[in-house]
Amino acid sequence: MPDFAQALRFWFWLGCVSFGGPAGQIALMQQELVERRRWIDGTRFLHGLNFAMLLPGPEAQQLATYIGWRLHGTLGGLAAGGLFILPGALVLLALSWLAAEHGDLAWVGALFDGVKPVVIAIIAASVWRLGRRTLRGIAALLLALAAFLALYLGHLPFPILIALAALLGYLAARMGRDWFTHPAHAPGHPDDGEGHLPDDRPPSRGSRRLVRLALLFAVLLLVPVLGVVLLLGRTPWADIADLFTTAAFVTFGGAYAVLPYIAERAVEHYHWLTAADMLNGLALAESTPGPLILVTQYVGFFAGWNHSGGLSPGMAGMIAAGLTTYVTFLPCFFFIFAGAPYIEALIRNRAAAGALAAITAAVVGVILNLGVVMGEQVLLPGGQPDPVALIVACLALFALLRLQVAVHWLVLAGAGFGLVRMLLVA
């Protein structure tokens, strides 16, 4: 068992090097924490991962929070989860300012133009990988297709889609139908021989503990939000808190799943930023450490920058970015601290597994919708194909799927291509 100072140094290092999305981040934690340092055994690590996957929010950050909680209690969980976010949040804050302050410069625009086709390829690769892993039956395929059509043609609100998918999976599991789950991997089977871990047992008087924790969470959420709204006014601060708190509770399947919902509200409803700015933010979040859902901080920064009221744009952007990050990640800590003592019961619950599997299937359609909507803007601007963008997107997709090139290197390559293209054209 490491002392708290050792753990702090590790969690900060992890936050600085956590590139590559959740798969890479989880693999790095397993290598460092299970195999190399042996701070947690493999069974507990897998239990924590399964639990994190049942929850909305970034699973890698929540897994880090859970492991920190196991090692050093609540303070350890706060340190692990917070330091997993902090380095990337600071880097993205600086990049957000650069995009807002200097985005109209020719060279900055050229960098983003080179990156946008790469982002489309990243989304396409996510659809392919997630689809191969999860859409293994006709029911899952049909649900993914229905989710895509409901969003692309029917404009069904994202939270309602997630709720309907969860309900369908829950009812199917309750009826004993393995429409979205697979019997061989269904919960309820013994684990790898270690049985029930003594310190995973739910605490006595658990309901009182949950009520106290929920009340504390409500206070921690409402007091800062109300304080900002009372000091600075309702617009855009109340809207920022409302949008990103809602997103935090429905972010199943990763950031790509909730991005269409956030983009629709931020771009079309609130007019905080343009669709092009949204793509730029996604590219920046892909190239910085930490969870991809940090892209919400970029959106929040632009909300403050473009609707600053009596504040300077920079100050308003920083406050909005801080508020966005706070309400996005506070629920993640609540989910872990509330559910961790009940982890065994949750990961073995057949109905919960059915609901999660149905949500995951629907998320494939959600991400496909994101790719189609953004792809139309980048690859078919004005309804006409852009040959250069199409070639760059295809090459990036090949590099991702066949050559296994890391995402952040592709983003940097796209930015370099955009700059070189501008110089050659000029």
What does the pLDDT look like over 11-42, one tens digit per residue?
Answer: 999 998 786 567 668 877 888 898 888 998 87
Give 59: exposed, middle or buried? Use CB within 10 Å, 0-12, 13-18, 19+: buried
188 C-beta neighbours (distance < 10 Å), count: 9
pLDDT(247) > 70: yes
Calculate what percentage of the chain has a pLDDT beyond 90: 33
What does the pLDDT look like over 34-65, one tens digit per residue?
Answer: 888 899 887 788 778 778 877 888 888 999 99
Q: Supply the pLDDT for residue 68.
A: 95
Q: Supply the pLDDT for residue 59.
A: 86
pLDDT(197) > 70: no
Q: In which band, very low, low, confident or very high, does the pLDDT at 195 lie, cut at 50, 70 and 90?
A: very low
Q: Which has more confidence, 302 or 372? A: 302
Distance CA(215)–CA(238), nearest Å, equals: 21
pLDDT(90) > 90: yes
Average pLDDT, integer, range 155-161: 81
Distance CA(124)–CA(5), nearest Å, equals: 41
Q: Supply the pLDDT for residue 32.
A: 87
Average pLDDT, integer, range 193-222: 72
pLDDT(403) > 50: yes
Average pLDDT, integer, range 410-425: 83
Q: How far is CA 128 from CA 133, 135, 232, 283, in A?
A: 9, 10, 44, 19
Q: Supply the pLDDT for residue 185.
A: 46
Most confident of 123-132, 135-144, 317-326, 362-371: 317-326
Average pLDDT, integer, range 352-372: 82
pLDDT(188) > 60: no
Q: In which band, very low, low, confident or very high, does the pLDDT at 83 lie, cut at 50, 70 and 90?
A: very high
When the pLDDT of each residue in the chain is averaged and rounded to a whole number, the result is 84
Q: Supply the pLDDT for residue 20.
A: 59
Q: Supply the pLDDT for residue 191.
A: 41
pLDDT(184) > 50: no
> Quick check: 350 and 171 in contact, CB under 8 A?
no
Residue 204: phi, psi to the nearest 5? -70, 155
Considering the entire predicted model, what is its pTM? 0.76
3-state secondary structure the chain: CCCHHHHHHHHHHHHHHCCCHHHHHHHHHHHHHHHHCCCCCHHHHHHHHHHHHCCCCCHHHHHHHHHHHHHHHHHHHHHHHHHHHHHHHHHHHHHHHHHHHHCCCHHHHHHHHHHHHHHHHHHHHHHHHHHHHHCCCHHHHHHHHHHHHHHHCCCCCHHHHHHHHHHHHHHHHHCCCCCCCCHHHCCCCCCCCCCCCHHHCCCCCHHHHHHHHHHHHHHHHHHHHHHHHHHHCCCCHHHHHHHHHHHHHHCCCCHHHHHHHHHHHHHHHCCCCCHHHHHHHHHHHHCCCCCHHHHHHHHHHHHHHHCCCCCCHHHHHHHHHHHHHHHHHHHHHHHHHHHHHHHHHHHCCHHHHHHHHHHHHHHHHHHHHHHHHHHHHHHCHHHCCCHHHHHHHHHHHHHHHCCCCCHHHHHHHHHHHHHHHHHHHC
Q: Where is average pLDDT lowest: 77-91, 262-276, 318-332?
A: 262-276
Q: Go through the chain and tell me how many residues it has.
A: 426
